[in-house]
Amino acid sequence: MSESTYRSWRSPSSLRWLVGCVASVGLVVGLAWFFLADGIPVLWGPMASAESKRAGRELFEHEWTPNDPMSSGDGLGPVFNAKSCAACHFQGGVGGAGDRKHNATHFEVLPTVQRRELISGVVHTSSVAPGDRESFKLLRQTFPIITFPAPPPPPPGQNCIMVPPQKPPFDPLRTESIQSPALFGIGWIDRIPTKSITLRAQRRGMNLAMKELTGDFSGIPVGKVPYTSDGRVGKFGWRGQFATLEEFVASACANELGLGTPTMPQAVPFHKPQAATEVAPDLTKRQFRDLLAFVDTLPKPIEVASEAASRGKVHFSSVGCAVCHAPDTGGVKNVYSDFLLYKVEDPVAVAAQYGQTPPPESKRPDNVPEPAEWKTPPLWGVADSAPYMHDGSAPTLASAIQRHAGDAKESKAAYDKLTEAERGDLIKFLESLKAPPSEESSMVAKVTR
């Protein structure tokens, strides 16, 4: 390079031009990243000190009692479903899924003319005081079926007047049996950027719209992004009710154990709302931090490779399972979920379980999913979390696939068309998604690196 050429590159105008080019390229790359990428990848996993995890595990496994010495409040209760976290999270190791025997009954009461808000909660099968114990019978007495008066008959001699039809009785109460999910790797899910979830839904919506322009109306519908009542993306709970792991753990403590935390008070009997009193949180800020650290750092499930599983993974994608059970989301690999809401079972059949269509005054809030809608559960570790579906009503993986008669019915039909050997390989793939080895799930002696 000649001296004159060198001087021209060093001139202020040339440097400004170079800086402008670099800035323009950076802007284009940044915009492409923002609109096309799944957000910032999760570059490192959850971390906590060994002492905090040890203390958190002790709290997780501790069997709580009323006025427990480890509690800063009144201990277990006043109403509860279990005496420890580990009682409902044990399959494949401490922190795994629960069995159907430990299902909880969730309920919601739709708005009525007399009561405009939607009520939701958990039926607590145990209590400290016998009179506080809850049951479906008590739930029904508290929220009875609504009957409407018969319309008045037409005035005498005016039988031609149109009389409005009798409104059928309306049951505002909905109940569902809910299985305890596995918690392995849940700290990684907490770190998934919510932008990756919303962008996936937007991109799928654009792709389906392009297909429909060509007259192709096939394919799995786009799932709904689950939102909390304050507008945040929900990643936890069978319907994405919670935006953060901290909220999810605090709710489990309050509703399943009756343990108040610094961020959420303990549950009280639904038929005695006046029983709510100013009680000190059962867990201190330090205790709750330790419990959260243990749950947050539970290890990720693993994938055990085999030839059959490798073939099955190809079939899993080819029949469309990977559309909703996306292998990677937001930089977290092998999670197998897009965290969107879908009508998993036939919505007509689900609606039939609840009788007639609710009247207009019983419209549920926009952020509350319909009865047929469930969040795509992560499949990592699924081999060690039987039975399946939100209520544990599918005893095998094959039977769970057959229950996908709603939004994923095309995928189920494609699965049914596979040969018996191909279906067997697909199940082998799902069986390769295992809970972490027991030595990894034991966090007592593990030192964070």
Please state the separation of Cα 55 from the chain's center in Å.
27
pTM listed for this prediction: 0.86
CB 248 within 8 A of CB 114: no
Mean pLDDT of the chain: 88
Split at pLDDT 50, 70, 90, the class of 213 is confident
Place of tokens 């039975």: 387
Residue 306: pLDDT above 50? yes
Residue 440: pLDDT above 70? no
Strand ranges for 81-228 from DSSP E: 104-109, 119-123, 126-127, 173-178
Tokens of 170: 């309306």
Place of tokens 């419209």: 363
Residue 325: pLDDT above 60? yes
With 0-12 / 13-18 / 19 or more C-beta atoms within 10 angstroms meaning exposed / middle / buried, residue 299 is buried
Tokens of 346: 């036939």
Q: How far apart are the first and last CA of the chain?
A: 51
Q: What is the rounded CA–CA span in Å between residue 371 and residue 175? A: 10
> What is the per-residue pLDDT across 141-170, written as a single tens digit (0 to 9) for each?
999 998 888 888 777 777 666 778 888 888
> What is the per-residue pLDDT across 222-265, written as a single tens digit (0 to 9) for each?
999 999 999 999 999 999 999 999 999 999 999 999 999 999 99
> What is the per-residue pLDDT across 57-67, written as a single tens digit (0 to 9) for each?
999 999 999 99
Residue 304: pLDDT above 80? yes
Largest separation between any pair of C-alpha atoms in the chain: 113
Q: What is the mean pLDDT of residues 24-42?
A: 57
Number of helices (H), then strands (E), belonging to the chain: the values are 15, 9
Q: What pLDDT does 4 receive?
A: 54
Residue 92 sits at the vertex; the CA angle it makes with 88 and 53, to the nearest 5 degrees, is 75
Q: What is the rounded CA–CA span in Å between residue 333 and residue 82? A: 33
Split at pLDDT 50, 70, 90, the class of 39 is low
Q: Output phi, psi for 176, to 5 deg.
A: -145, 140
> What is the per-residue pLDDT across 380-430, written as a single tens digit (0 to 9) for each?
999 999 999 999 999 999 999 999 999 999 999 999 999 999 999 999 999
CB 220 within 8 A of CB 410: yes
Place of tokens 């953060």: 244
